């Protein structure tokens, strides 16, 4: 889905439209939410909750919390579907109640995410140090052990703050992979628990007594573990980047609750039935380890590899959630600074790294101080309390907006039984917040102090300084992709240096198609995850210049469109832009050298692999005329396109195209002439342009490299091998691209079959 | 003890069933809205109420 931002920019005399790159699918956003939820709550929650509420209590804690969280999830879902813009609770409060409440929402969101980040850092430290202690690498007890745990927590937090400062926190498919891995591991543990009971039903006796400390303890543990259901905010924050957000955001919120509740109940069950023969009631034994109780229980359940399984899962879960919370918290404080509700320095971007480093610095301070000085239970309780307050506010917003602005909103989801779910949510969350005082009185000092200080700041500072931004809270109107008329070419320009040559070559394609083409020049503007995409105009200067250069050439030759697209990843932005526009051909430039860990580069490799239209990758194609063009031929799906591109690029008056086949000694050569005879009519090229040439050599790469030196231009088909295979063994076209010093074009014909996963999505 | 267990099982069943029902119900509403039949939020709301009554 393609949404136009409400601003256009000028480059020279040309008007450039801007848009947000939407490439997060339902699976991505659902997994973002699941990843945030699984980050720590279940690992810390099981041990602590069982200690307080007993074996039955811990199961009920997660199940009942899920039902309450579902009420709030529906509120978030309804609001996100109506206001699908990054900002989450901050935006909802702005629309529902105005600036004052929205400041408090942003202020709470900042703290809640930061404290959740501390919780993930602490979880990482507890389980890592515990595992190293079991291996005998760390031998410490008491205060010394706590000191080591705190040091590790601070170090890992510092590490991710630095990563965020560098602006290299890449999420997306890799994040989905990790979250799927964590969830699958937890489901596996739950499955082992069920199997254990199946073969040894006596283990169900571990549930006796069911509620040893009374039913009132349930409210305490529910409040304490509520942080385990805090993933909706991060899903709402992805509003600018999600495909079809009115449909996918609400679905992702609801699905994420569904996934985690069964996972949590399953692993809590497995932890309880996993313990046997410990000399005391299993629930007391697990509870005696406190926050580490879950890990100890799973070590009993799966003695051979339970330790390492839990350690690896916690490391992945807590670090990915820590990273996400740091940039989520930074984004919240950045937004407050941008709107002058906090001093504008919070919105200041680093001149080189382009990240909001001041906002990140203050976020980092909160994360590190909380992790360093608060006990684990108080960190978890404080995080839970802030999210309870935040969700309380969101439930109020949904009622108010539905009552007052229903007809103005374009809802993609409207909750059933309204207004009962948000009213239940408000009531029960208030009770849980009050009961939390029994778990941590410090949380009841930290939380209210933060909110009261926010009210004071608003009253004395923000109210007078805040810029009027009501008009920015626009519900972006989805613009349908215009109906495709003819052949559509997308030129991706990266910088002013290569823009003109790409435009010049693109124009040759237009002429070859006898002007039955639509051309759009597009520039990807990468924006760090800490900055909302809607604020990305600050990053667009180079793109404006590049588009300006290209349009200077093209605008005198016809009507061409241009767009700057704000994205998190250049490659994903290009792939999704080509798919949205149903492009027939994507034209890109390449600087001519690879990058460590990639074959042709971090942007080119994924584009070549994933884009679904034809691609032409140009290197050093600055000449106006090419008299001799070499086309290496070995059959394959790119052959026709290679010949077509060569016929477009060659000078028809006196030029020639040599189709070159190299066969190893003893192997049959391909029939190049037959291929030319068959293909030339299809691409409307005169047969006389083409010549065939054969070579026999067991050194195909060197032979090709030598032959290519005699030509003005080489047009070669890209490999069809996956990126992983290419990392293991460089294929011939890519090796040639890296070593050939003159002009060449690498082409790849569109894929006919999408992967099963893509089709499913 | 038995009483605790029975109440616990009832609460567990209710909460998990509630999650499942709300998930399916919400999905149904989202799909209906996006299938293009109701145009305004008022119509969506009325449809939801009518479904509940029937």
Mode of pairing for the β-strands spanning A517-526 and A487-492: parallel
> By three-state DSSP, how is residue A6 classified?
strand
Residue A364 has pLDDT above 60, yes or no: yes
Average pLDDT, chain A: 83
A461 and chain B in contact, CB less than 8 A = no
Question: Tokens 């070669």, residue?
Answer: A716
Of residues A208 and A756, which shows the higher confidence score?
A208
> By three-state DSSP, how is residue A130 classified?
helix
Find the closest chain A residue to B42 by CA distance. Answer: A407
- pLDDT given at position A751: 67
* Chain A residues in contact with B23 (beta carbon < 8 A): 70, 254-255, 257-258
Of A90-104, A285-299, A591-605, B20-34, give the lowest mean pLDDT range: A591-605
Residue A168 has pLDDT above 60, yes or no: no
B3 and chain A in contact, CB less than 8 A = no
Residues ≥6 apart with Cβ < 8 Å to A410: A82, A246, A475, B41
Residue B24 has pLDDT above 90, yes or no: yes
B10 and chain A in contact, CB less than 8 A = no
The model's confidence at residue A67, banded by pLDDT at 50, 70 and 90, is very high
A70 and chain B in contact, CB less than 8 A = yes
B53 and chain A in contact, CB less than 8 A = no
- pLDDT given at position A726: 56
State the Cα–Cα distance between residues A413 and A479, nearest whole angstrom.
19
Which residues 328-367 on chain A approach chain B with CB closer than 8 angstroms?
none
Asked if B23 lies within 8 A of A258 by C-beta distance, the reply is yes
Q: Are A382 and A443 in contact (CB under 8 A)?
A: yes
Residue A16 resides in a domain: yes
Q: Percent of chain A scored above 90 by pLDDT?
A: 27
A208 and chain B in contact, CB less than 8 A = yes
Residue A522 resides in a domain: no
Asked if B41 lies within 8 A of A407 by C-beta distance, the reply is yes
Asked if B42 lies within 8 A of A407 by C-beta distance, the reply is yes
State the Cα–Cα distance between residues A49 and A640, nearest whole angstrom.
65
* Chain B residues in contact with A59 (beta carbon < 8 A): 8, 12
The CATH number that applies at residue A65 is: 1.20.1740.10
List the domain range (segments joined by +) for residue A680. 623-743
**pLDDT per residue as tens digits for the range A144-167:** 999 999 999 999 999 989 888 876
Residue A446 resides in a domain: yes
Residue A196 has pLDDT above 90, yes or no: yes
The model's confidence at residue A451, banded by pLDDT at 50, 70 and 90, is very high
H-type alpha helices, A486-569:
496-512, 541-554
- pLDDT given at position A759: 40
Of residues A626 and A176, which shows the higher confidence score?
A626
- pLDDT given at position A369: 93
List the domain range (segments joined by +) for residue B10. 2-53
A249 and chain B in contact, CB less than 8 A = no
**pLDDT per residue as tens digits for the range A273-310:** 999 888 889 999 999 998 889 999 999 999 888 888 98
The model's confidence at residue A760, banded by pLDDT at 50, 70 and 90, is very low
State the Cα–Cα distance between residues A265 and A246, nearest whole angstrom.
30
The model's confidence at residue A752, banded by pLDDT at 50, 70 and 90, is low
Of A110-124, A266-280, A541-555, give the lowest mean pLDDT range: A541-555
Asked if B22 lies within 8 A of A70 by C-beta distance, the reply is yes
Q: Are A283 and A206 in contact (CB under 8 A)?
A: yes
Asked if B34 lies within 8 A of A60 by C-beta distance, the reply is no
Residues ≥6 apart with Cβ < 8 Å to A116: A36, A39, A40, A227, A230, A321, A325, A383, A387
**pLDDT per residue as tens digits for the range A504-550:** 888 888 888 765 788 888 888 777 766 776 676 767 666 677 777 77
Residue A597 has pLDDT above 90, yes or no: no
B33 and chain A in contact, CB less than 8 A = yes
B9 and chain A in contact, CB less than 8 A = no
The model's confidence at residue A325, banded by pLDDT at 50, 70 and 90, is confident
H-type alpha helices, A624-694:
639-649, 672-682
Residue A312 resides in a domain: yes
* Mean pLDDT (whole number) for A645-669: 84
The model's confidence at residue A96, banded by pLDDT at 50, 70 and 90, is confident
Which range in A1-5, A20-24, A56-60, A330-334 is most confidently predicted, on average pLDDT? Answer: A56-60
Among candidate residues A466, A491, A519, the one where a domain is terminated:
A466
Letter string b/e over residues B33-53, b meaning 16 or more CB atoms within 10 A of that residue's CB: beeeebeebeebbebbeeeee
Mode of pairing for the β-strands spanning A14-20 and A690-696: unpaired
> By three-state DSSP, how is residue B37 classified?
coil
Token output for A260: 């985690």
A409 and chain B in contact, CB less than 8 A = yes
Q: Are A54 and A211 in contact (CB under 8 A)?
A: yes
- pLDDT given at position A121: 92
State the Cα–Cα distance between residues A288 and A271, nearest whole angstrom.
14
B54 and chain A in contact, CB less than 8 A = no
Residue A190 has pLDDT above 90, yes or no: yes
- Inter-chain CB pairs, A–B, below 8 Å: 99
* Chain A residues in contact with B25 (beta carbon < 8 A): 416
Of A218-232, B8-22, B37-51, give the lowest mean pLDDT range: B37-51
Residue A362 resides in a domain: yes
Asked if A407 lies within 8 A of B45 by C-beta distance, the reply is no
Residue A496 has pLDDT above 90, yes or no: no
Find the closest chain A residue to B23 by CA distance. Answer: A254
* Chain A residues in contact with B20 (beta carbon < 8 A): 258
Best residue of B3, B8, B38 to probe chain A, by most A CBs closer than 10 Å? B8
Among candidate residues A436, A466, A496, the one where a domain is terminated:
A466
Q: How many residues does chain A have?
A: 761
- pLDDT given at position A728: 58
- pLDDT given at position A610: 80
- pLDDT given at position A5: 45
Count of CB atoms situated within 10 Å of the CB of A610: 19
Question: Alpha-carbon torsion A510, A512, A515, A517, what sign?
Answer: negative
State the Cα–Cα distance between residues A77 and A82, nearest whole angstrom.
9
A406 and chain B in contact, CB less than 8 A = yes
**pLDDT per residue as tens digits for the range A466-493:** 775 543 433 333 334 445 557 888 888 8
Asked if B23 lies within 8 A of A77 by C-beta distance, the reply is no
* Chain B residues in contact with A63 (beta carbon < 8 A): 11-12, 15-16
Best residue of A403, A413, A415, A428 to probe chain B, by most B CBs closer than 10 Å? A413
Which range in A100-104, A609-613, A753-757 is most confidently predicted, on average pLDDT? Answer: A100-104
- pLDDT given at position A332: 86
B37 and chain A in contact, CB less than 8 A = no
Q: State how far residue B54 is from chain A, nearest Cα, in angstroms.
A: 14
Residue A170 has pLDDT above 60, yes or no: no
The model's confidence at residue B25, banded by pLDDT at 50, 70 and 90, is very high
Best residue of A70, A80, A256 to probe chain B, by most B CBs closer than 10 Å? A70
Of residues A353 and A386, which shows the higher confidence score?
A386
Among candidate residues A447, A466, A485, the one where a domain is terminated:
A466
DSSP symbols for A588-621: EE--S---TTSSS-TTHHHHHHH--SEEEEEES-
Asked if B52 lies within 8 A of A416 by C-beta distance, the reply is yes
Question: Tokens 């229980």, residue?
Answer: A297
Q: Are A689 and A647 in contact (CB under 8 A)?
A: yes
- pLDDT given at position A757: 42
**pLDDT per residue as tens digits for the range A659-672:** 998 888 877 777 88
- pLDDT given at position A758: 44
Q: State how far residue A413 is from chain B, nearest Cα, in angstroms.
A: 5
* Mean pLDDT (whole number) for B3-30: 93
Q: State how far residue A58 is from chain B, nearest Cα, in angstroms.
A: 11
> In total, how many domains does chain B have?
1
Q: State how far residue B12 is from chain A, nearest Cα, in angstroms.
A: 6
> By three-state DSSP, how is residue A716 classified?
strand
A265 and chain B in contact, CB less than 8 A = yes
**Neighbour order of strands in the sheet with A628-632:** A3-11, A14-20, A561-567, A517-526, A487-492, A585-589, A614-619, A744-748, A713-717, A628-632, A656-663, A690-696
- pLDDT given at position A63: 95
CA distance readout (Å), A578 to A79, A303, A527, A608, A683: 30, 51, 19, 12, 23
Closest CA to A182 of A354, A49, A319, A337: A319
Best residue of A407, A414, A420, A480 to probe chain B, by most B CBs closer than 10 Å? A414
Find the closest chain B residue to A63 by CA distance. Answer: B15
Find the closest chain B residue to A74 by CA distance. Answer: B26
The CATH number that applies at residue A677 is: 3.40.50.620
* Mean pLDDT (whole number) for A376-402: 88
Asked if B12 lies within 8 A of A406 by C-beta distance, the reply is no
Of A96-105, A506-515, A525-534, A692-701, give the lowest mean pLDDT range: A525-534
The model's confidence at residue A240, banded by pLDDT at 50, 70 and 90, is confident
> In total, how many domains does chain A have?
2
φ, ψ at A547 (rounded to 5°): -65, -40
Residue A760 resides in a domain: no
Residue A639 resides in a domain: yes
Asked if B33 lies within 8 A of A413 by C-beta distance, the reply is yes
């Amino acid at each position: 889905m393609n949404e136009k931002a409400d601003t256009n920019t000028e480059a020279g005399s040309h008007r450039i439209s801007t848009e947000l790159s939407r490439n997060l699918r339902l699976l991505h956003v659902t997994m973002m939410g699941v990843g945030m939820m699984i980050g720590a709550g279940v690992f810390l929650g099981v041990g602590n909750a069982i200690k307080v509420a007993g074996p039955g209590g811990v199961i009920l804690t997660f199940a009942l919390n899920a039902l309450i969280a579902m009420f709030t999830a529906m509120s978030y879902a309804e609001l996100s579907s109506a206001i699908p813009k990054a900002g989450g609770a901050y935006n909802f409060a702005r629309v529902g109640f105005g600036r004052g409440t929205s400041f408090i929402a942003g202020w709470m969101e900042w703290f809640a995410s930061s404290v959740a980040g501390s919780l993930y850092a602490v979880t990482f430290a507890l389980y890592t140090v515990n595992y190293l202690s079991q291996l005998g690498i760390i031998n410490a007890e008491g205060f010394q052990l706590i000191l080591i745990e705190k040091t590790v927590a601070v170090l890992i937090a510092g590490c991710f703050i630095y990563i965020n400062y560098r602006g290299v926190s890449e999420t997306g498919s890799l994040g989905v992979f990790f979250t799927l891995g964590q969830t699958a591991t937890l489901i596996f543990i739950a499955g082992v628990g069920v199997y254990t009971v199946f073969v040894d039903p006596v283990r169900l006796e571990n549930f006796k007594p069911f509620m040893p400390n009374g039913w009132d303890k349930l409210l305490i543990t529910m409040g304490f573990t509520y942080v385990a259901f805090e993933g909706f905010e991060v899903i709402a924050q992805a509003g600018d980047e999600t495909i079809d957000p009115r449909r996918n955001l609400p679905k992702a919120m609801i699905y994420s609750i569904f996934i985690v509740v069964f996972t949590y109940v399953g692993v809590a069950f497995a932890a309880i039935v996993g313990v046997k023969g410990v000399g005391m009631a299993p629930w007391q034994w697990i509870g005696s380890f406190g926050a580490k109780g879950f890990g100890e229980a799973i070590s009993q359940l799966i003695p051979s590899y339970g330790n390492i399984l839990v350690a690896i899962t916690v490391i992945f879960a807590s670090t990915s959630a820590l990273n996400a919370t740091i940039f989520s918290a930074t984004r919240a404080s950045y937004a407050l600074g941008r709107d002058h509700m906090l001093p504008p320095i919070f919105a200041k971007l680093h001149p080189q790294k382009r990240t909001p480093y001041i906002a990140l610095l203050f976020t980092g301070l909160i994360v590190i101080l909380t992790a360093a000085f608060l006990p684990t239970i108080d960190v978890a309780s404080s995080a839970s309390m802030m999210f309870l307050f935040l969700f309380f506010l969101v439930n109020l917003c949904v009622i108010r907006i539905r009552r007052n602005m229903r007809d103005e909103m374009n809802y993609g989801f409207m909750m059933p039984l309204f207004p009962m779910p948000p009213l239940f949510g408000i009531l029960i969350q208030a009770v849980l917040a009050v009961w939390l005082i029994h778990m941590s009185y410090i949380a009841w000092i930290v939380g209210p102090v933060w909110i009261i200080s926010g009210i004071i700041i608003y009253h004395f500072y923000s109210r007078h300084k805040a810029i009027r931004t009501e008009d920015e809270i626009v519900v972006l109107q989805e613009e349908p992709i215009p109906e495709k008329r003819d052949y559509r070419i997308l030129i991706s320009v990266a910088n002013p240096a290569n823009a003109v040559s790409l435009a010049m070559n693109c124009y040759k394609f237009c002429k070859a198609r006898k002007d039955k083409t639509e051309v759009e020049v597009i520039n990807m503007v990468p924006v760090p995850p800490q900055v909302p995409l809607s604020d990305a105009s600050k990053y667009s200067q180079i793109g404006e210049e590049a588009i300006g250069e290209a349009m200077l050439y093209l605008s005198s030759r016809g009507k061409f469109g241009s767009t700057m697209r704000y994205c998190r990843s250049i490659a994903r932005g290009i792939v999704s832009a080509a798919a949205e526009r149903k492009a027939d051909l994507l034209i890109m430039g390449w600087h001519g050298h690879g990058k460590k860990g990639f074959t042709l580069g971090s942007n080119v490799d994924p584009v070549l692999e994933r884009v679904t239209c034809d691609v032409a990758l140009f290197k050093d194609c600055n000449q106006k005329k090419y008299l001799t063009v070499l086309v290496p031929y070995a059959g394959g799906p790119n052959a026709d396109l290679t010949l077509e591109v060569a016929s477009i690029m060659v000078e028809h008056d006196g030029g020639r195209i040599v189709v070159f086949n190299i066969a190893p000694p003893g192997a049959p050569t391909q029939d190049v002439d037959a291929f030319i005879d068959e293909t030339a009519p299809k691409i409307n090229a005169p047969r006389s342009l083409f010549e065939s040439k054969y070579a026999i050599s067991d050194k195909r790469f060197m032979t090709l490299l030598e032959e290519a030196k005699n030509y003005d231009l080489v047009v070669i088909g890209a490999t069809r091998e996956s990126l992983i295979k290419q990392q293991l063994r460089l294929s011939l076209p890519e090796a040639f691209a890296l070593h050939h010093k003159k002009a060449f074009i690498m082409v790849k014909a569109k894929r006919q079959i999408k992967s099963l996963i893509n089709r499913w999505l | 003890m038995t009483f605790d267990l029975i109440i616990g099982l009832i609460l567990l069943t209710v909460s998990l069933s509630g999650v499942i029902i709300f998930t399916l119900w919400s999905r149904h509403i989202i799909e209906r809205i996006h299938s293009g039949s109701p145009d305004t939020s008022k119509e969506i709301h009325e449809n939801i109420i009518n479904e509940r009554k029937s």
